[in-house]
Every structure is written in structure tokens, then in C-alpha cells.
Structure 1
């Protein structure tokens, strides 16, 4: 059992609410709610109001979850809402679920794929895409479906190559994506 006096340590078996600001930070490397929201706004250009009503939690070292509601803090449960982000590494990485949920109206770092490129992406294939002129790093890979841009998942773009990070269990071999 965890020592209840160890509030300034990260414990991987429970969810701890992110502090609102750096002044409220108790666990040294834990991001704040403000930093998480600002990262999404800066990286993908989404409206920060998208996160109104959500609380943010860390479980383990840098696994950030969003929960639309309130619960006691800390809480020992297996899951709480949706894992949205990995922090505590050089580059923060959004989750596939989070990009699909929050990046439909993203205005930055969205790579819009052709039908063939989108088909390869959701199948988990890496592709040489030298035409992209935006930022390198983690992007929202998207494709137009039924007249609207649909986020497919997270891609890592480096040196002209888009690497699919679609989890193996969610990869799909599609005949044709229109």
C-alpha cells in the first residue's frame, strides 16, 4: 500500500488530478492543466473551450487522461475517461483517440491524405510524402469522408516520411477509401 504522506511523488497505480498551474504543482515533472491545454492549442490550433468540463489526470509517468466530469482525487481505478497524451519525454505524443475526438476542427499540423495515402496510413504503413511543407513531429492524419475532414489518427512526420502510429489492434486493410 502507498504511504499516504508521499503526496510529492508520482504513484503509477492511481490517477492524480493535474494541478491547474505551475504554482500548484506538487509532483516535480507533472504537467499542469494549463500546459496540457496550451499544448493542444499551440500544436493543433484547436479551441481551448473544447476542454471545458474536462478534468485531467496522470496515471504512471506522463500518461495523461481526460475525464468529462468530477471524481475524488486521488482515485485508484484502472481507467478514467480517455488517455489523451504522453508527456515526460522529449516530444509530447497525442493518442489516436484524442486526435479523433478533439482534432476534427484543428487548424494546424493536419496532413490531409489522398484516398491511397489514407488507406496506407490506417493499415499502419509508413509512406514517403515529400509534398508536406508543415511542421515535423506528431501530426493529425486526416482524410475527407462524406464531405467532411475526418481525423484518422496520429502520424509522425520526419525527413519526408509519414510514419503511421495507428495501434496494431486498430489497423485496417481497406480496399478503397473514398
Structure 2
């Protein structure tokens, strides 16, 4: 299957039954709409201040439409398996969304768009509750964090809009602490 790109060249279409490595750059793109490695690294740097070097040894893969996975290392592409590494990012929507796994794994390196919650706010966030908070930073997806044993620990992903932090902790991972 194929479709035409913006410049009229024929592009392959996404196959949701396999993992395909992300192209290195936009110029290397063969599947319409697929993010490139460069775009993914730039997004994490721009949104959260996590430097591209953090992911130097990682490869990025798409399975399904916009479901990006990260693997420590590399494989030949494509790969026909059920899971590979860790879910990392959702693309192919208006605003890209980091996964809870990615926020918890890499959020300690974030220098931007991290909202530090106090004890009660962190408990509410972990239970999956939305709450009004004071935040002077950007609207959109944030890494919610809380100080534990003297270190800031990422709890997960929240969505901040109009003075409200929406907890995006998946139902099966919500906890009453």
C-alpha cells in the first residue's frame, strides 16, 4: 500500500501489525505522518528540557498509528512482535503526549514543565483526581512530581488547562496513598 506525499512522491503506509523504526530525519520519512527520530528528540528537549543525548543508545519504533516505543539498543526493521521496549510517546494527534512510563523513567532529567506537587496534591494525583493548582508555566502536558527522600520523583503525566491539573495516571496504576 502507498499514498502520495506533499511533493507527489509515493510514500508507504503504516502497518499496525509490526514495529517500524522511526526514520532518522524528516527527509528520510517513507510513511506519511510518521515522526522522525530527530522530531522526537527535539520535542522532548523543547517540551521538558531533556537533552537528546539522554536517548543516544535508544532506538524508536512505531506500531499502530502514532504509538512510539523506545528500545535500549537496536534491531533490524521491521519487527513482527507484540511488544518492544517501552511505550514512550503518542504522536499523530494535535498535541504529542508522553506516556506515564516515559515520564517516570526519564522525568528526573526534565528541567522544564515539571510541576512539583505537595503531599496532598501528590496523593490526589496518584488517585487519578483532577485538581486546581497554581502554575505559572506552559499549559498542556506536564510531568507531575513530588519530593521523596530529598529527591524530586516523577509521578506521571498531567494535563494543565485553565488552572486545573488533570491526572492522566492510567486507571490500573492509580493508588490511594
Name the TM-score class by shorter chain: over 0.9
1:36-55 equivalences under 5 Å are 36-55=40-59
Runs (5+) with no aligned partner, structure 2: 3-9
1:101-116 equivalences under 5 Å are 101-116=105-120
CA RMSD of aligned residues (A): 1.5
- Structure 1 length normalisation: TM-score? 0.93
Whole-angstrom distance in 2 between the partners of 1:87 and 1:170: 22
| Match in the other structure for 1:148 | 151
SS at match of 2:42: helix
- Structure 2 length normalisation: TM-score? 0.93
1:122-167 deviations in Å (ceiling 9; x for gaps): 01000011x1110000000000000000000000000000000000
Whole-angstrom distance in 2 between the partners of 1:94 and 1:138: 8
| Match in the other structure for 2:166 | 163
| Match in the other structure for 1:75 | 79
| Match in the other structure for 2:96 | 92
Whole-angstrom distance in 2 between the partners of 1:105 and 1:86: 20
Whole-angstrom distance in 2 between the partners of 1:133 and 1:115: 20
SS at match of 1:76: coil
Q: Tell me by how many angstroms 1:7 deviates.
A: 7.3
Whole-angstrom distance in 2 between the partners of 1:136 and 1:124: 19
**2:11–2:32 Cα contact (<8 Å) kept:** no
Count of paired positions:
170
After superposing on structure 2, the runs of 4+ consecutive aligned residues of structure 1 that deviate more than 2 Å are none
